[in-house]
């Protein structure tokens, strides 16, 4: 079930410092330290504090480090930051797939090229699933079948992934035989 | 003389759809051999071919008016079926020019285009349109140029931008599709939007097709046929509306199989566009009922053989699983196993009564 043979899934490699860049920004959905391969020199590092912090941010451990209360706050700051960036920035992102492609989308909209953004999946495999019928986004889906929060259809989570929407496609599983809904399996922990 | 356009056809709910004998014989039957498998079956889109459907750059037939009306209904419900990313405006004008020039040259009794510099006048007689506008100025048309002209054409269209040695589906008018979503796929690269297609990736079909298409030259369009099956003459088999049409697949019985099951063929054409260097991909959809297919001896026998040997992955992907056996049981008594000519041409010019 986890490999449906669909070839639109991105493949991710470990993060390495791209020496052609002049400034380096590492963005993480978690709160661990940046990978050593990004090097310490002049690396800026942004991370989202765990919800256990309840909105209280501790002081950064080192220069260039910055913490955010939520993913949303980080994304909004990133958008403003990239709007005023010049050539030479390299952006590295690490986190769940929807986080990565949200970052990528912001970077593209602000004019960064494909070769200037590096992504590495880590953490939860939970998926953002867009209902193809009503277009609602269902966040944090861990099962093969999920009930759409928008229209109520039981959606099969197809392995078809849109980088633009940072989302997988959900299709009504019992469209042909209404009520014939297989048991959902936990597949994306 | 011109084409006698059918009035009052309906491709939804209380279906009403009918092919004349000439309409049956011009059908681009997709099977040139007794077995089917994916291949890079691309050939030059030259004028003329095994049936009259190949005679023009963009084929217009007796269903033209009804299909344009159906498209308008789909768009009224779901405007997202037509989307073009902002950087594709030059490709929008390329498309408008190509379609207007082709249709007016190929069907002068139905369409005409006159130009005075950038001031153009377009007349579409079947749809009762007389539009003057300035080429390159979107505000002089009732909507953006790609939507404007593809509302007046049969079949779906997508726009592929070429960059980074790849093609990206950066726009489209998609209202008569075989179960794929433009709204979801827009912006994807060639391999991404073909991601769900089974088997073909592993035999290198998409690698070879992409390499071929990246070299597509202006003035040398190409074409291929693709196919699936649809229950009832329904054009809008979109994933968006799958909850509405999916149950149709459980309604096929031995008694109604010949009327209900339609072979759905896409005559796919690819044109390099001159200003944008984008590719216009035409996906012209034809529906023919099993009952009409049976009137052509060669097609009846060949369809039986193709469906008998179709790999199960393909049957599943094309959604045939629930009713394939019913079709086979219906066709089997009428296939004597005689050798059939290669190619898709019907090999007869007259049909037995329906």
pLDDT in tens, B292-330: 999 999 999 999 999 999 999 899 989 999 999 999 999
Residue of B nearest to A105 (CA): B187
Residue of B nearest to A3 (CA): B196
For residue B246, the chain A residues in CB contact (below 8 A) are: 172, 175-176
The DSSP output letter for B189 is B
Measured CA to CA, the distance from residue B117 to residue A112 in angstroms comes to 39
pLDDT in tens, A83-111: 999 999 999 999 999 999 999 999 999 99
Residue with tokens 């408008």: B96
Distance from CA of A51 to the nearest CA of B (A): 32
State the pLDDT at residue B354.
Answer: 78
pLDDT above 70: residue A2 = no
For residue B181, the chain A residues in CB contact (below 8 A) are: 132, 169
Contact B196 A6 (CB under 8 A): yes
Mean pLDDT of chain A: 92
Q: Is B224 labeled as catalytic in the residue annotation? A: yes
Q: Which of A37, A186, A66 is nearest to A124 (CA)?
A: A186
Measured CA to CA, the distance from residue A120 to residue B77 in angstroms comes to 39
Measured CA to CA, the distance from residue A66 to residue A70 in angstroms comes to 12
3-state secondary structure (DSSP) of residue A93: strand
Contact B80, B185 (CB under 8 A): no
Residue of A nearest to B240 (CA): A133
For residue A160, the chain B residues in CB contact (below 8 A) are: 184, 195-196
Residue of B nearest to A154 (CA): B243
State the pLDDT at residue B261.
Answer: 98
State the pLDDT at residue A76.
Answer: 97
Contacts of B233 (CB under 8 A, 6+ apart): B11, B15, B17, B262, B287, B289
pLDDT above 70: residue A10 = yes
Q: Decide if A158 touches B, using CB distance below 8 A.
A: yes
pLDDT band at A3 (very low <50, low <70, confident <90, very high): low
Measured CA to CA, the distance from residue B335 to residue B34 in angstroms comes to 12
Contact B274, B94 (CB under 8 A): yes
From the list A5, A8, A176, the residue facing B249 with the nearest CB is: A176
Residue of B nearest to A171 (CA): B239
Contact B195 A172 (CB under 8 A): no
State the pLDDT at residue A20.
Answer: 93
From the list B184, B198, B247, the residue facing A169 with the nearest CB is: B184
Measured CA to CA, the distance from residue B176 to residue B151 in angstroms comes to 12
In the set B12, B224, B249, B300, the catalytic residue is B224
pLDDT in tens, B220-249: 999 999 999 999 999 999 999 999 999 999
Task: Give ipTM to 2 decimals.
Answer: 0.91
State the pLDDT at residue B201.
Answer: 78
Contact A8 B183 (CB under 8 A): no
Span A105-133, mean pLDDT? 95
Q: What is the DSSP string of A124-186?
A: ---EEEEETTT--EEEEE-BSEEE-TTT--EEEEEEEEETTTTEEEEEETTSSSTT-PPPP-B
H or E element in which residue B173 lies:
strand B166-173
From the list B164, B184, B196, the residue facing A130 with the nearest CB is: B184
Tens-level pLDDT at each residue, chain B (354 residues): 689 999 889 999 999 999 999 999 999 999 999 999 877 789 999 999 999 999 999 999 999 999 999 999 999 999 999 999 999 999 999 999 999 999 999 999 999 999 999 999 999 999 999 999 999 999 999 999 999 999 999 999 999 999 999 999 999 999 999 999 999 999 999 999 998 887 777 888 889 999 999 999 999 999 999 999 999 999 999 999 999 999 999 999 999 999 999 999 999 999 999 999 999 999 999 999 999 999 999 999 999 999 999 999 899 989 999 999 999 999 999 999 999 999 999 999 999 987
Q: How many CB atoms lie within 10 A of CB A41?
A: 8
For residue A136, the chain B residues in CB contact (below 8 A) are: none
For residue A6, the chain B residues in CB contact (below 8 A) are: 195-196
Measured CA to CA, the distance from residue B275 to residue B96 in angstroms comes to 12
Task: Count Cα neighbours of B102 within 13 Å in the Cβ-side half-sphere.
Answer: 19
Strand partners, A138: A129
Contact A169 B181 (CB under 8 A): yes
For residue B317, the chain A residues in CB contact (below 8 A) are: none
Q: What's the whole-model pTM score?
A: 0.93
Residue of A172, A175, A178 to mutate, testing the B interface (most B Cβ within 10 Å of its Cβ): A175
């Amino acid at each position: 079930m986890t490999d449906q043979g669909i070839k639109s899934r991105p493949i991710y490699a470990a993060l390495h410092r791209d020496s052609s860049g002049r400034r380096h920004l590492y963005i993480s959905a978690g709160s661990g330290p940046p990978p050593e391969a990004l090097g310490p020199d002049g690396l800026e590092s942004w991370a989202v504090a765990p919800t256990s912090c309840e909105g209280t941010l501790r002081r950064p451990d080192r220069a260039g480090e910055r913490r955010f209360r939520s993913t949303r706050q980080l994304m909004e700051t990133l958008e403003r930051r990239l709007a005023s960036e010049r050539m030479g920035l390299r952006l590295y992102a690490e986190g769940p797939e929807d986080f990565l492609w949200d970052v990528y989308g912001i970077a593209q909209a602000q004019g960064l090229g494909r070769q200037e953004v590096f992504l590495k999946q880590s953490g939860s495999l939970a998926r953002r699933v867009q209902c193809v019928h009503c277009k609602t986004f269902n966040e944090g889906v861990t099962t093969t079948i999920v009930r759409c929060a928008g229209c109520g259809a039981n959606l099969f989570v197809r392995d078809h992934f849109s980088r633009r929407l940072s989302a997988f496609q959900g299709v009504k599983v019992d469209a042909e035989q209404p009520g014939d809904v297989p048991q959902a399996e936990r597949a994306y922990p | 003389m011109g084409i006698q356009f059918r009035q009052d056809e309906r491709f939804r709910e209380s279906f009403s759809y009918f092919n004349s004998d000439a309409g049956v014989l011009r059908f681009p039957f997709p099977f040139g051999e007794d077995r089917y498998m994916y291949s890079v079956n691309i050939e030059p889109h030259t004028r003329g071919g095994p049936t009259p459907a190949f005679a023009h750059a963009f084929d217009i037939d007796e269903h033209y008016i009804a299909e344009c009306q159906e498209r308008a209904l789909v768009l009224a419900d779901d405007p997202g079926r037509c989307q073009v990313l902002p950087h594709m405006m030059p490709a929008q004008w390329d498309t408008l020019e190509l379609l207007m020039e082709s249709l007016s040259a190929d069907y002068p009794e139905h369409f005409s285009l006159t130009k005075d510099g950038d001031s153009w006048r377009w007349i579409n007689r079947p749809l009762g349109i007389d539009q003057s506008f300035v080429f390159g100025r979107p505000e002089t048309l009732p909507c953006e140029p790609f939507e404007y002209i593809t509302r007046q054409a049969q079949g779906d269209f997508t726009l592929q931008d070429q960059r980074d040695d790849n093609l990206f589906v950066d726009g489209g008018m998609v209202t008569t599709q075989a179960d794929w979503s433009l709204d979801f796929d827009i912006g994807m690269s060639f391999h991404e939007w073909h991601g769900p297609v089974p088997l073909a990736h592993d035999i290198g079909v998409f690698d070879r097709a992409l390499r071929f298409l990246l070299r597509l030259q202006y003035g040398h369009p190409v074409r291929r046929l693709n196919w699936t099956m649809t229950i009832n003459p329904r054009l809008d088999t979109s994933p968006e509306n799958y909850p509405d049409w999916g149950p149709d697949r459980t309604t096929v019985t031995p008694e109604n199989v010949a009327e209900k099951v339609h072979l759905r063929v896409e005559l796919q054409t690819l044109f390099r566009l001159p200003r944008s260097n984008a590719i216009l991909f035409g996906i012209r959809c034809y529906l023919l009922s099993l009952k009409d297919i049976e009137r052509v001896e060669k097609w009846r026998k060949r369809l039986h053989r193709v469906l008998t040997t179709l790999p199960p992955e393909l049957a599943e992907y094309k959604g045939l699983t629930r009713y394939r056996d019913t079709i086979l049981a219906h066709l089997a008594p009428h296939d004597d196993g005689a050798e059939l000519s290669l190619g898709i041409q019907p090999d007869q010019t007259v049909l037995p009564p329906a």
